[in-house]
Amino acid sequence: MAAPRTLWMALVLLGALGVLQTPARAQASVQPNFRQDQFLGRWFTAGLASNASWFREKKAALSMCSAVVAPAPPGEGDGVLNVTTTFLRRDQCETRSLLLRPAGPPGCYSYTSLYWGSTQDVWVEETDYGEYALLYTVGTGDRGFHMATLYSRTQTPRAAVREKFTTFAEAKGFAEEDVVFPPRTDKCLEGHQ
């Protein structure tokens, strides 16, 4: 009698783990009729929320980054985007680039994290292209890592856009204290309004 009970408990635990790992994917969607050409250009990371331990440890020290989204160089494939991010780290401006490869319907991408060595899936869930974009990222190998990001075309998004991001992040399961609006820094964003 102990063996069936142990098997049942194991199945319940596996089921619970599956449920805990899949909500991020189940909750993800993309902007209807996503227009990649309108998504290109300069954005500022005006809002972030994440369950990653590094984020929780360093969120008070984060500052706004700029990101330039452009078509990838020829030979990378159709629909591939090159994202070049500039940010302040240790009082120096750093720039990193990554390739977002189409991974489903338009607005859904994946990339390999050079730092973590894992695949990240990114969905552009909502955007008006001219003012804001709401992105959702899930790490497929990072023990349940997920992140919500507010891209803004300006360094000072309107209060309504910030509220929209807070609501979006909370719908993704983040608590209010997980939501950060990094302050801008003139050092790495100079000349990029």
d(CA 75, CA 87): 28
The identity of residue 33, as a single letter, is N
Selected catalytic residue, list 65, 93, 108, 188: 65
d(CA 184, CA 170): 23
CA torsion through residues 50, 145, 175, 173, sign:
positive
d(CA 53, CA 88): 20
Q: Residues with Cβ < 8 Å from 75, sequence gap 6 or more?
A: none
Q: What is the dihedral of CA 10, 12, 18, 24, to 10 degrees?
A: -150
d(CA 147, CA 51): 7
Indicate the DSSP class of residue 77.
-
- Three-class SS state of 66: strand
Catalytic-residue membership of 65? yes
Residues labelled catalytic: 65
